Amino acid sequence: MLALLAVLILSVSFAPMLRLAGAALLADGAFATERLAKLFSRPQTGAAIWNTIRISLASTLVSLIIGAVFALIMVQTDLRGKSALVFAFVLPLMIPPQVIAMAWIQAFSPSSPVLGALGLSMEAGTRHPLYSATGIILLLGIYNAPLVYLALQASLRRIPLNLAEAARAAGRAPCACF
Mean of the pLDDT values across residues 3-28?
86
Considering only residues 158 and 110, tell me which one the structure prediction assigns the higher pLDDT: 158
**Residue 17 in this model has a pLDDT that exceeds 50:** yes
- Checking 27-33 for CB contacts under 8 A at 24+ apart, the result is none
What mean pLDDT is reported for the chain? 87
Q: Amino acid identity, residue 54?
A: R
**Residue 175 in this model has a pLDDT that exceeds 70:** no
User: CA dist 177 to 107, 134, 174, Å?
Assistant: 36, 28, 8
**Residue 133 in this model has a pLDDT that exceeds 50:** yes
> What pLDDT, on a 0 to 100 scale, did the predictor assign at position 54?
97
